[in-house]
Amino acid sequence: MTYTEQKERSHRFVLALRMGLPIFLLSAATLFTLLSKWTETMFESFVLISIAMLVFIVYFILYLIYQSSRENITDPLTHTFTSDYFFKRFTKKSADAVQTMIMISVENLWSINERYGIKNGDAALVDIIAKVNHFFGEKGFEKLPICRYRGGVFLLAFPGEKEKHLPLLELFLSKYQNFVHDEIEVRLEAVMIDTRLSNDTELLLSRLYELYNDRINVEREEEYPINELEKEVLDALENKRFTIGFWPVSCDEGEMYDTTVKLVDSNGKLIHQSRYVPILNRLYMMRRLESDLLEKIAQICDEQKRCFVVYISPATLRNPHFLEHALTLFERYPYARNSLMLMFEEKEYFHQTERFAHQIAHYRKAGYKIGLDRFGGYHTTMLYLKELDIDLVRFDVLYSRHIKEEKYQNLLQGLNLSAHLCGVKTWISMIEDENGDRIARSLKINYREGNYLGKILTMKDIQGQP
């Protein structure tokens, strides 16, 4: 019997005792009355008291039965804790000492359910929990709190700091990261965090998802507690403390600069995109930052007709308020017209492409260029190339890393030709040496970027200030 099942049994036992207590009291009162020498004089009072107690008992029992249906502490499928009970327990434990939370996720649960059916997918989840309990039970964690947070996402709670449990997690992944359950291939991923960052379970959970989505190494040290990082990000946004780097892009005509943005905290330290983007997305503040960045870069546009690439999230790009802001920007900064390229990437396909294409047309008509990132990496890029009227595509960095391999050169050649036939220019980044640049030129890629072709510049360099 697992630890969660033991807790569920004890919970039900306590509930049964609570339900039986009024009956015991009524029985005791009855015996006392029957055996008392004052029975004759107390009989009428006893009857009234008994009727009142009986009404109370019936109400109390019905109330407890109703409450018991709402007080389940385990998931009916996997027999792990419910999220409410798990977080309540975790918060109580973390108030006394540091606790570590591990998130184990079934990466391919959707494809398992799609191919083998939900019933077999559920069976795979049950098998995963059995393996988790068995593995960690052998390592001395017989009473391991496990929670099924949602779908194929499970949370585990361990006492102590995360460094203490890192070797154990790595050992678990080495054994079960890819395993087969009744012909079903199961892929697991795991990340971990501890309460030294924060005791707020909501913030910890958000950070776990950030780590999981960005695939940040679990050993990475955090510079801030989570709540302090959020304050620093919001303060930097409020005071517009950000730094913009400009990376020269080699092209056949004109000057072009890619941009990279970091926030600056109150102590002058840089906050990288992997840290501030999830926070701003969660707080619905990403559009505000991107609007400020677009305004800032528009200010430095001049008669030199340089093109600056600004990364904009697809949700912001489709936002009507951002569209309105972008369309009125050239009234304040006329030199920015035809000097700004809005670059976006999107992993999940946006099905309302007709509306999206209409918005893209508005941007281009106003004087913006539109770029599509991760071309050849996400399947959505091929669909968008077909359905959206864009100016440029940037190849996924995977092709840059392997540009010297013949297989990737052949793929690049095909993708490059497809883009050119659609009237779209192409761009490859991360060119690190002469050989890579030579190959990119031979493939007739229009734009090339990397350390070999130019170092990153500051705002002062762009403005010609000493």
Residues 71-93: pLDDT tens digits? 677 888 888 998 988 999 999 99
Assess whether 236 and 215 both reside in one domain: no
How do residues 96-141 score in pLDDT, each as one tens digit? Answer: 899 999 999 999 999 999 999 999 999 999 999 999 999 999 999 9
Assess whether 325 and 343 both reside in one domain: yes
Residues shown for the chain = 466
CB-count burial class (<10 Å; 0-12, 13-18, 19+) for 58: exposed
Asked if residues 372 and 385 have their Cβ atoms less than 8 Å apart, the reply is yes
Pick from 164, 202, 34, 184: which is nearest to 123 by CA? Answer: 184
Strands 242-249 and 256-264: antiparallel
Return the pLDDT at 31: 59
Asked if residues 238 and 292 have their Cβ atoms less than 8 Å apart, the reply is no
Q: Report helix angle 3-35 to 39-70, nearest 10.
A: 170
Please tell me the total count of domains within the chain.
3
- 75 located within any domain: no
More confident residue, 62 or 305: 305
Determine the Cα–Cα distance for residues 268 and 103; give it in Å rounded to an integer: 33
Assess whether 300 and 401 both reside in one domain: yes
- 158 located within any domain: yes
**Residue 104 maps to which CATH number?**
3.30.70.270
Mean pLDDT of the 206-227 span:
66
- Is the pLDDT reported for residue 220 higher than 50? no
DSSP letters, 262-276, are EEE-TTS-EE-HHHH
Pick from 148, 147, 131: which is nearest to 139 by CA? Answer: 131
> Which of 220, 239, 270 marks a domain boundary?
220
Asked if residues 132 and 84 have their Cβ atoms less than 8 Å apart, the reply is no
- Is the pLDDT reported for residue 36 higher than 70? no
Q: Going by C-beta distance under 8 Å and a sequence separation of 6 or more, which residues neighbour residue 372?
A: 343, 344, 345, 381, 384, 385, 388, 390, 392, 393, 394
Return the pLDDT at 248: 94
> Which of 220, 254, 278 marks a domain boundary?
220
Assess whether 350 and 255 both reside in one domain: yes
Query: How does DSSP classify residue 13?
Result: H
For the chain, the distance separating the N- and C-terminal CA atoms, rounded to the nearest angstrom, is 72
Return the pLDDT at 11: 61
Assess whether 330 and 421 both reside in one domain: yes
> Which of 220, 237, 258 marks a domain boundary?
220
Return the pLDDT at 355: 94
Full domain range(s) for residue 28? 3-70
- 332 located within any domain: yes
Assess whether 290 and 316 both reside in one domain: yes
Assess whether 132 and 161 both reside in one domain: yes
Q: In the chain, pLDDT over 90 holds for what percent of residues? A: 62
Determine the Cα–Cα distance for residues 280 and 259; give it in Å rounded to an integer: 19
